[in-house]
Amino acid sequence: MKALTSTDFQFEGQKSVYHGKVRDVYTVKNDLLVMVATDRISAFDVVLPKGIPYKGQMLNQIAARFLDATADIVPNWKLASPDPMVTIGLRCEGYPVEMIVRGYLCGSAWRAYKNGVREICGVRIPDGMRENQRFETPIITPTTKAEYGLHDEDISKEEILNQGLVAPDEYALLEKYTMQLFLRGSEIAAQRGLILVDTKYEFGKRDGKIYLIDEIHTPDSSRYFYAEGYEERFAKGETQKQLSKEFVREWLMDNGFQGKEGQTVPEMTDEIVAGISERYIELFENISGETFDKAHTEDIQTRIETNVKAYLASV
C-alpha cells in the first residue's frame, strides 16, 4: 500500500501553495483553491512520520458528501472533486478562528474537566458531570486558527469580539451556522446508527458573503460514538465505542507521547500503519453508509495531476 505524504505540483495559473498538517492547498489564478487531502496524519498538532494509505481519499470523499448535504444551510467553497483525494473550490478569506461544537463531555474537554476546570472558552460547565455525558444543549468552544507548526489555542466569544477577530454580526452568523450544521450532521449520523459527539467548522468570506470552508464531519475533524450501547456503557462508566481519530491519540498517549517538548513519537511499524488504515476504512463505511472503493495507488501524483489539469482546463 502506498501513501501520499507530500506534493509539489505546478498547475497553470498557480500563485502559491500552502502545506498544512494534512492538506496541501494550491491557489490558482487567485480565485480557486486546489485542496489535496494527503495521507499525512497528525495528532496533538504534530505530523506523524508515516502516512496512512487511503486516508486522504477517505477524508476528501466524506467531506465532499457532507458539503453537498449541508449546502442549503450555508454556501460552501466546493465546486468539484475531480480526483478521489482532491476538492477544488472558491478561494475565501478565512476567519482566524475555528468553531468547535461539543454535544458531549469527552476528549480534551473531559481531560480539563476532571482536572477541575469548570469553564471552557468562556462556557460554564456544571459540576457533577461524567465522561461522555451529553450536554443539555451543545456548546461552542472556539479556538484560534494557528499557523502551521503552532498549537490552536482556546478562546472565548468575548475575547474574539474584544480583539476584533470577527465582527459581532458576523460572529452571530457563525454561531447560527455552527449549530445548524451540527444538527444536520447529528441527524445524518443517527441514520447511520452513530452519534456526532463533537466537531469543528471553519468559515471564510468572499464578496461579503460567509462560506463554509475546509473539511466537514470527517473523522479527523469530528468524533462519533456508536449509538447502540451508548446508554448502557455510560451507565456502567465504560469506554464508549467510537469512530474518530481518538484511537490514534490513545495509542500515542499509551506510548508516552502527547506532543510535548522532549517527547518522541513511538515507532510506527507497518502493522501499526496498516491497522490505522483499516480503522479509517471502517470510519468511512460507517459514516458514509457505503463500501469504500480504493483508488489505484500505483502513481498517485500523476493521477492527481492529470485529473486536476483536466478540470482546470474545462473551467
Question: What is the per-residue pLDDT for 282?
Answer: 87
Please tell me the predicted confidence (pLDDT) of residue 220: 83
One domain for residues 53 and 157: no
**Is residue 228 classed as helix, strand or coil in its secondary structure?**
coil
Length of the chain: 315
Q: Are residues 239 and 98 in the same domain?
A: yes
Instruction: Return the ∠ at Cα 215 (arms to 213 and 220), rounded to 5°.
Output: 150
Grid cell locating 283: 470510519
Distances 149 to 22, 42, 167, 291, 301 between C-alpha atoms, Å: 12, 11, 27, 35, 25
Strand partners, 32: 28, 90
Residues 103 and 220 in one domain: yes
Angle at CA 26, nearest 5°, toward 246 and 207?
Answer: 95
The CB density around residue 158, as the number of other CB atoms within 10 Å, is: 10
| CA 65 centroid distance within chain | 14
105 and 220 housed in the same domain: yes
Residue 223's domain comprises: 94-243
Cα 232 from Cα 236, distance rounded (Å) = 6
Are the CB atoms for 56 and 36 separated by under 8 Å? yes
Whether 253 maps to a domain, the answer reads: no
Per-residue pLDDT, 279: 87
Question: Which pLDDT does position 147 carry in this prediction?
Answer: 61
Same-domain pairing of 87 and 111: no
pLDDT at residue 255, rounded to an integer: 93
Is 5 within a domain?
Answer: no
Decide: residue 285, CB within 10 A, 0-12 exposed, 13-18 middle, 19+ buried: middle
The answer to whether residue 252 is domain-embedded is no
d(CA 171, CA 185): 21
For residues 297 and 2, give the distance between their C-alpha atoms in angstroms, rounded to a whole number. 6
Residues 206 and 278 in one domain: no
Query: Is there a single domain that holds both residue 139 and residue 233?
Result: yes
Q: What is the CATH number of the domain that holds 279?
A: 3.30.200.20
Low-confidence ranges of the chain (pLDDT < 50): none
Kindly state whether residue 3 falls inside one of the protein's structural domains. no
In the prediction, which pLDDT does 283 show? 86
- Global pTM reads 0.89
CA angle 224, 46, 277 (to 5 degrees): 50
206 and 120 assigned to the same domain = yes
Q: Which pLDDT does position 53 carry in this prediction?
A: 95
Q: How many domains does the chain have?
A: 2
DSSP bridge partners of 89: 33, 78
In a domain, 256, yes or no: no
CA distances from 4 to 7, 37, 39, 57 (A): 8, 9, 5, 10
Show the beta-strand stretches assigned E in the chain.
14-19, 23-28, 32-37, 42-43, 46-47, 78-83, 86-90, 93-94, 97-105, 119-120, 123-124, 133-140, 143-144, 194-206, 209-213, 222-226, 242-243
Tell me, yes or no, whether 263 lies in a domain: no
292 and 160 in one domain?
no
Run of H or E including 231? helix 230-236
Residue 35: what pLDDT?
97
Same domain for 110 and 83:
no
Supply the pLDDT for residue 28: 96
Cβ neighbours of residue 66 under 8 Å, at least 6 residues apart?
Answer: 185, 188, 216, 217, 218
> Are residue 99 and residue 175 in the same domain, yes or no?
yes
- Same-domain pairing of 284 and 193: no
Q: Label the pairing between strands 123-124 and 133-140.
A: unpaired
